[in-house]
Chains A and B, each alone.
Chain A
C-alpha cells in the first residue's frame, strides 16, 4: 500500500482574484493578480518557484495549448511550467502536480495556478466544444452541461421515490444557502442574496434545473504555492501550517456510460475518491470529523448528490440534511462558506484552487466573523469535471497543525 502524501506538503501562500465578469482583464491580468497575492502571502519571490503547473480547460478560445502563454505573461525564469487539463477538475490537477513534485522531493517549492477567461467566449454558459471527442460528435446527444447534470435529478427522484417538487425544494435550499454565503464575500461573482421564491420561479434551463440551480460563469484565477514542511518552518517559523492531508483523484471507467449497474443518482468517482481520501487522511467518520467543505456545486443537484457520495449524508437523506440546515454556514458542516461555484463563480481552471483558497483561509482563521467557520479542523474540497457519465473527481483534505 502506497503511503500517500499526508503531511508531506504544506501550503505556503495562496492568491485568488475576484471572480466575475472581468471585462477589463485578460487571462494575463488574472494570472498576475493571483500570483502576486500568492507570492506576497508566501513571502517569497517568483525566482524561488522551482516548478509550476497551470490548470485551464477551455484552451483554444482562451490562451491556447501548453503553458507558454502563462510562462510568458508571468515571465517565469525558464522553470518547468506544465499545462494540465482534466475538465472542471483542472485546478485541482494543477495542485496535484505541484503537490506531487514537492512530496516526491523533486522540488521544495512549487506553484499551482489556474485561470479561465470565459467571458471572452461570447457564450452564456460554457462554450460548445467536441469535449468528448469526434465520435461523440456523431453519436452523442445535443447536450449542454446543465442538461447532463439535470439527469441526476430524474434518476435520483426515481431511485429514492421522491416527488420532483420535493427534490426541487431541497436543491432550492442549496442555491439559497450559497447565495447567503456569497453575498458576504467581496471576491464572489454573484453577491446578492435571493429568496427561495426567486429560485423556484426562475426560468427553466434544463429540467428540473432553473437559472438559480446553475453556477456562475466567470473569469478568474487562483494560485497556490506549496512547499515541504521543512521549508515552511524556515520561512514562516512559529506560524500555523495548513497541510495537505489527502489528495485523491478518480476517473470514470466507462461503466457509468455503457454498463447498466450505475444507479444514475450519484457520482461513482466521488464515492471512490472520497473513500480513498478519508483513508489517506485518517478520517473514520467524515460526518463527525470534517469541519467544512467546498464542493463542486456546478448545479444544485450536483451538490445534493455529492453530500451522499462523500458519505456525509446517508443514501436518500441529503434532501433532509439540506432542508435541516446541516450545510448552512451555521450548520454542523458548512458547505460552500465562500458561496461555492454557484456564487463565487466558476472560471474552470481556477475553481479547484479557489476551493483550497477558502479552506486555507478558514483554517488560518483569516475571515471576518460573519463568514468564519467555527474552530475548523479538517476542510474538504471536491472538484468534479466532465459529466455524470464520464467524469473526473478530485477530493482533497486539508488540516491545520
Chain B
C-alpha cells in the first residue's frame, strides 16, 4: 500500500496584522482594505523557502530513521538557486543519505502537489520512502493585493510503502498556460492579471474541472469525500466552488487565510497537514492544488493516523507566534528597503566551495562525531576525541545532531554585531547527549532566554553574500516550542 506515512507543517513565528499594512500603505492603494482581515505569517529575516521547507520536513520526520529515506523533493516558486539543486540542501539538512533521488519542483503553485504525485509514483515503483518539502516566500509590491494575501509557510509529506496513515487512491490533473500570476526569471515581485478574471475563469472553473475529472475517472461524486482541500483566497469564489461541487461548507478545509495567508506551493500541503491533525480513520480526503492548472489527489485515512496525531502539523506553529508590529521591519527583512547595518554589515564573506563540500555534513546536517572509545559526542566532527581523558585518534562515528536539541549554556544579545533583527543573539549550547557549540539563536528575545533552558535547532540562512548572490545556511538554536510565551 502506498500513501502518506507522515506529515509536517511550519509557520514562521512572526505574524503581520493586515491592518498594519493597510495603515502604512492604504494611502497609496485604499482598495487593499478589502483584504485587511486577520494576519499573515512572515518569515524571519533568516528564513526563506529552503529553511521553511526544512522546518516542515523536520516536523514531518520526527521519529523517522533518516537512513530509510530514498527521495527528497522540494517544491517552491521562490528557490534561492537557479543552478545548485535546492532539494539537496533540504535533503542534507534532513540528514538523508547521499544515495537518494532529489529534485526541485517549481514554476507553478501546483508544484507542491506535482512533487507529491512524483513521490507517490516513485514509491509505487521503487518502494521505500520519499519526502516532499514545500515552502514559499512570495513577495508582492508595497500596497499590492499580493502583499496583503501572501503568507510564508512550509509543509511536508512523507510518502511510504508501509504503515501509511492515508492511502493514495488516485489522481487527476489539468495543466494550462493560464497566466493569472507571473514572475519572470529576473523579477522579484509577483504580477497578476485582472482579479475578476482570475476568480471567475481561474479558480471557479479549474478547481471544479479537476474535481469532476477525478470523480469521473474513479466513479465518485464530490459528496463522497469527507474533507475537501483546495486553495483559493477569494471568499466569494470559495462559496461558488462549494456550490458547484455540491459539498457542504463543513467538509471544506479552512484555507488559513486569516492566520497564515496564501503560502503558494506549500499551501495545499499545509492545508493537508492541518486536516491530517484531526482526520479520522476511514475519511476520504480530496486534495486539490491550483496554479497553471490543478492536481487533484484522493486519499483514504487509515487506522495508523492516530499514531501520527502527536502534535506534528500546523497547530503548534500557529500557536507559537509573535506580533511583527512594524511594517518597516517587514520591508527590511524581505529586502524591500535598504537599511544601514553599519560597517560590519559590509563585510565581504566569501564562500569557499571546496571547504563547504569537505564539511557539508557538518554544515547542512549538523553532523557531529561520537567517539567509539569513550562515547563522547562532539561538534564539529573531530578526529582527535575532545574528551581530555580519552583523546583517541580516528575512532569516530558520525552522529546527526540536528534533531537532538540541547540546553542553553551561555547567551548574550549583541547590539554591535550587524543584524537586521538586533540584538544578534548567540551563545553556547550543550547538545543533548553531549558536546557543546557556540551558535546563533533566533526566534527569541534575550529576555526569553535563561541558562539551562531547552532549545531545538532550526535550519536558517547563515549569511547572504550580495556580491555573488550566495545564500549560506546553518543551524540556529531556538527555544523549544512551548518555551517562548
Mark A residues whose CB is within 8 Å of B: 122-125, 127-128, 130, 134-135, 137-144, 146-148, 150-155, 157-158, 203-207, 209, 253-255, 257-261, 264, 389
Contact = CB atoms under 8 A, between A and B. Distances in A.
A61 B430 CA distance: 36
13 contacts: A127-B343, A138-B355, A141-B427, A141-B438, A143-B417, A151-B412, A157-B451, A206-B423, A207-B446, A253-B388, A259-B376, A259-B378, A260-B409
Contact of A123 (B344, B355, B439): B344
Interface stretch (B77-85, B191-199, B203-211, B356-364): B356-364
Contact of B416 (A144, A254, A260): A144
A260 B388 contact: no
Nearest to B360: A138
A261 B388 CA distance: 10
B382 interface: yes
A262 to B, nearest CB: 8
Nearest to B388: A255
B362 to A, nearest CB: 7
Contact of A155 (B347, B409, B437): B409
Nearest to A254: B386
Contact of A257 (B359, B413, B437, B450): B437
B419 A142 contact: yes
B343 A122 contact: yes
Contact of A154 (B412, B439, B463): B412
Contact of B410 (A123, A144, A155): A155
A128 B347 contact: yes
Contacts of B382: 254, 258
Contact of B414 (A144, A152, A260): A144
Interface of B: 343-344, 347, 349, 351-352, 355-356, 359, 362-363, 376, 378-380, 382, 386-388, 409-419, 423-424, 426-428, 430, 434-440, 446, 450-452, 462-463, 472, 474
The listed residue with most A CB atoms (<10 A of its CB), out of B359, B388, B426, B450, is B426
B190 to A, nearest CB: 31
Nearest to A204: B415
A203 B422 CA distance: 14
A264 B409 contact: yes
5 tightest CB-CB pairs across the interface, nearest first?
A: A147-B414, A141-B426, A151-B410, A158-B451, A150-B412
A203 to B, nearest CB: 7
Given A138-B472, A158-B452, A206 B415 contact: yes
Contacts of A151: 410-412, 427-428
A259 B436 contact: yes
Contact of B352 (A127, A134, A154): A134
Given A138-B462, A147-B424, A206-B415, A257 B440 contact: no
Nearest to B476: A141
A125 B427 contact: no
Interface hub of B378, B382, B410, B472 (most chain A Cβ within 10 A): B410
A259 B419 CA distance: 29
Highest count of chain B CB atoms <10 Å: which of A130, A147, A209, A264: A147
B417 A147 contact: yes
Contacts of B411: 151, 154
Contacts of B418: 128, 142
A147 B412 CA distance: 6
A194 B377 CA distance: 48
Contacts of A122: 343
B438 A389 contact: yes
A139 B474 contact: yes
Contacts of B424: 141-143, 147
A141 B410 CA distance: 13
A258 B379 contact: yes
Given A259-B388, A259-B436, 15 more contacts: A124-B416, A130-B349, A138-B472, A139-B359, A139-B462, A141-B427, A142-B419, A148-B412, A151-B412, A153-B412, A206-B415, A209-B412, A258-B436, A260-B435, A389-B428
A64 B378 CA distance: 36
A128 B345 CA distance: 9
A142 B436 contact: no
A203 B438 contact: no
A135 B438 contact: no
Contacts of A205: 414-416
Given A258-B436, A264-B409, A142 B426 contact: yes
A146 B424 CA distance: 12
A253 B378 CA distance: 14
A142 B417 contact: yes
B414 A259 contact: no
Contacts of B376: 259
Given A122-B343, A128-B347, A147-B414, A138 B356 contact: yes
Given A150-B412, A155-B451, A258-B386, A143 B426 contact: yes
Contacts of A144: 344, 414, 416-417
Contacts of A137: 349
B362 A139 contact: yes
B435 A258 contact: yes
